[in-house]
Amino acid sequence: MHVLVTFDISNDYATWKEAFDAHAPARDAAGIAVTYAGHKLDDPSKIVMILSIPSMDAFEGFMSAPESAQSATEAGHLLDTTIVTPIS
């Protein structure tokens, strides 16, 4: 299963990307693979990702785990702006 994930960040893109990349072992352990992670060309504070996930339940569990939420917040991920769309 794949999802399109979009959200805003409060940090600059390079700072967010470094923190996102550092969290890779936790994503790997949860079975979440990154197909694409970047930003809109005209606005680097708007993140766009395509992820391969085991299931929506697994993804939601991963994202709601305290460690993941803390890591995302520290990276500048504005959690309330997150939109997750299942895609083919």
pLDDT in tens, 3-38: 999 999 999 999 999 999 999 999 999 999 999 999
Q: Give the pLDDT confidence of 37-62 residue by residue, as tens digits.
A: 999 999 999 999 999 999 999 999 99
Per-domain boundaries in the chain: 2-87
Among 3.30.70.100, 3.90.1150.10, 3.40.50.300, 3.90.1580.10, what is the CATH number of 2-87? 3.30.70.100
Distance of CA 53 to the CA centre of its chain: 12
Cut 0.85: pTM above it: yes
Q: Which of 62, 78, 81 is nearest to 23 (CA)?
A: 62
Residue 82 pLDDT: 97
Phi first, then psi, for residue 62 (nearest 5°) are: -60, -50
